[in-house]
Amino acid sequence: MPLDIIAQATVQGLLMGAIYALMALSMTLIFSTCGLLNFAHGDFMVLAMFGAMLVYELTGADPYLSAPLVVPALAGIGALVFVHLVRPVLAGGALAGAQLTLGLVFVQQNLLLMLFGGDQRNVQTVLSNRHLEAFGIVLPLPLVVGSACAVVLAVLLYGMLMATDFGRQIRAIAQNRDAAALMGIPLRRVQTLAFALGIGLLGLTGVLTVAQFSVTPSSGLDFTLIALIVMVFGGLGHFIGSLIGGLVIGVAEGLGSLLLGGTVGAMIPYLILVLVLLFRPHGLLGEK
């Protein structure tokens, strides 16, 4: 196998990995503050993607431009879902919350099915069908831009978590909820905001990658699983872990597909998840 093809797959895997990392980061944000494993995570992203497509179909505006509309809408939906559905159920335990999100998967997938039909959708943006060439590697421009934005967003998220009061409160809740409460941190308000932020971030990820993926209403669970695998691999709740995990999973999937075939490549992330959970459940960088 020629080296430049391997290099191509690796770089593409890295770029994809950055996007996976961002998906995992928003899931981590929600998991560490609210204690919720959100099976409907990917479906929110698909919702945003369909929103972007809808804006395009109605106004002809480039899907990227729909972000100012789609992202706040998604954050708002997230806040409402959290306050009225998730939080009351979470009082009965994390498993109950997970069950609710399974129900939400059902709702969202079929809502989109109703509104948009089941066909696979592709949408063109101003960047589609353009490529970036560097060092003999040809990369789709939407992927490069999406990936670069993912990195920027991750850095911004990191800055927020480290340097703002709100970010510190989030980290405090993630590390010791009782102690955080004792500080007078308004748990419910921070959790709601963190949830909305996570979903909004996810929406932004969706808008940025709408040209990269072709989506159907049922794609949500696939995205959820990828985010889950990255999150577990990197160590539950560990920021840098999710970043590294995303890159690793991205490259593993890309190279695996190249060297071993498409379906085996698709299996690799799940194999990684099983192996991690069985032999290193706290993930790469997490603590026991």
Partner 1 sequence: MTGTDPTRRRLLAAAAVLAAGLLLPVLGPAGWVNTAILTLLFAYLCLAWNIVGGIAGQFCIGHSLFVAAGAYTSTLLSLSFGVTPWVGMIAGGAVAALIGVAIAWLSLRYELPPLSFALVTLALGMLGYLLASTLDVLGASRGLALPIRGTPAMYQFRDDVLYYYVILAHVAAVLLFTIAVYDGRLGLYLRGIRDNERAALGIGIHVLRYKMAAMGISAFFTALGGTFYAQYLQFVEPHTFAGLTLVIEVILFTVVGGIGTIWGPLVGPLLLVPLGETLRAGLGDQTPGLHLFIYGVLLVTVIRFAPQGLVGLAGQVKSRIHIVLERVTP
Partner 2 sequence: MLDLHGVRASYGNVAVLQGVSLSVAPGEMVALVGVNGAGKTTLMRCISGLMAPTAGTVSFNGVQLAGRGCEAAVAAGISLVPEGRMVFPRMTVLENLQLGATNPRARARREATLRRVLDLFPRLHERAGQHARTLSGGEQQMLAIGRGLMAMPELLILDEPSLGLSPLMVQETFRALKRLNDDGLTMLLVEQNVRLSLAASTRGYVIENGRIVLTGSAGQLADDPLVRKAYLGV
Q: Which residues bind partner 1 (CB under 8 A)?
A: 37, 85, 88-89, 92, 94-96, 98-100, 102-114, 117-118, 217, 221, 225, 228-229, 232, 263, 266-267, 270-271, 273-274, 277-278, 281
CB of 55 to partner 2, least distance (A): 40
For residue 255, what are the CA distances in angstroms to 2, 162, 251, 269?
A: 13, 34, 6, 12
CB of 62 to partner 1, least distance (A): 28
91 binds partner 2 (CB under 8 A): no
Q: Which does 181 bind (CB under 5 to 8 A by kind): partner 1, partner 2, none?
A: partner 2
Q: Which does 102 bind (CB under 5 to 8 A by kind): partner 2, partner 1, none?
A: partner 1
215, 63 contact by CB (below 8 A): no
164 binds partner 2 (CB under 8 A): no
Q: Which does 179 bind (CB under 5 to 8 A by kind): partner 2, partner 1, none?
A: partner 2
Number of residues that bind partner 2 (CB under 8 A): 16
Of these, 117, 186, 261, 262, which contacts partner 2 (CB under 8 A)? 186
DSSP string across 248-260: HHHHHHHHHHHHH
> Longest Cα pair distance anywhere in the chain, in angstroms?
60
Specify the residue, 65 or 83, whose C-beta has the smaller distance to partner 1: 83
Cβ neighbours, 10 Å, residue 79: 17
22, 227 contact by CB (below 8 A): no
Q: How far apart are CA 259 and CA 249, in angstroms?
A: 15
Of these, 1, 119, 178, 278, which contacts partner 2 (CB under 8 A)? 178
Contacting range for partner 2; rule: CB under 8 A; set: 69-77, 146-154, 172-180, 213-221: 172-180
Q: How far apart are CA 18 and CA 89, in angstroms?
A: 33
CB of 157 to partner 2, least distance (A): 16
Contacts 24+ apart (CB under 8 A), 238-241: 238/28, 238/283, 238/284, 238/285, 238/286, 239/25, 239/28, 239/157, 239/158, 239/161, 240/285, 241/283, 241/284, 241/285, 241/286
168 binds partner 2 (CB under 8 A): yes
Bridge partner list, 133: 138
87 binds partner 2 (CB under 8 A): no
172 binds partner 2 (CB under 8 A): yes
CB of 174 to partner 2, least distance (A): 9
Q: How far apart are CA 41 and CA 54, in angstroms?
A: 20
Q: How far apart are CA 116 and CA 50, in angstroms?
A: 8
Binding site for partner 2 (CB under 8 A): 165, 168-169, 171-172, 175-176, 178-186
